[in-house]
Amino acid sequence: MSGSDDFARAPHARGRGAVGEDEAVRWLEAQGFAVVERNVRNHAGEIDLVAQEGETLAFVEIKARATDSYGPAIAAVPPSKQRRIARAASLYLAMSRWDGPCRFDVLGLDGEPGGGWRYTLIRNAFAAA
C-alpha cells in the first residue's frame, strides 16, 4: 500500500495530516534536511516542521492532498496562514539560540493516480511581514 493510499483511507483530518507529515519527513531527510522539531506549537501558532538544510533553518509548512480536485497542495497556504506561521516562527526564534539564516518553505504532497506522491518543495515560499 502506498503512502497516498494510507492518506486517503485515514478516517479523519488529523490522521491524514500525520500520514502526510510522516511521508514529508522521509522525503525531506532523503533530500538532505535534518529534522529539528515536528509540530511546534506556541501561543502564536503552529509550525509543522523545523528542519535544517545546510546552515539554514527552515520552517516548513506541509500540505497533502489525495487528489488535485481543488488544485495543488502548495496552493493551500494563504497569506493568513503565512502570517500565523511567521508569528510562531518569530516566537520560536526568540526562545531558541539560533542566530543563523532562516526561511519559510512549503512542501506539497499530491497523490498520484496509481498511488504514491508527487512532491513539490518551494524554498523561500514567503517572507515574514
Which domains, and CATH codes, for the chain? 3-126 (3.40.1350.10)
Q: What is the mean pLDDT of the chain?
A: 88
How many Å apart are CA 44 and CA 88, to the nearest integer?
5
Mark 26-58 as b/e (b = at least 16 C-beta within 10 Å): ebbeeeebeebebebeeebbebbbbbbbeeebb
CB 58 within 8 A of CB 107: no
pLDDT tens digits for range 61-84: 999 988 777 888 998 899 999 999
Q: Please give the model's pTM, rounded to 2 decimal places.
A: 0.86
pLDDT tens digits for range 9-63: 545 455 555 778 999 999 999 999 999 999 999 999 999 999 999 999 999 999 9
pLDDT for position 88: 97
pLDDT for position 113: 85
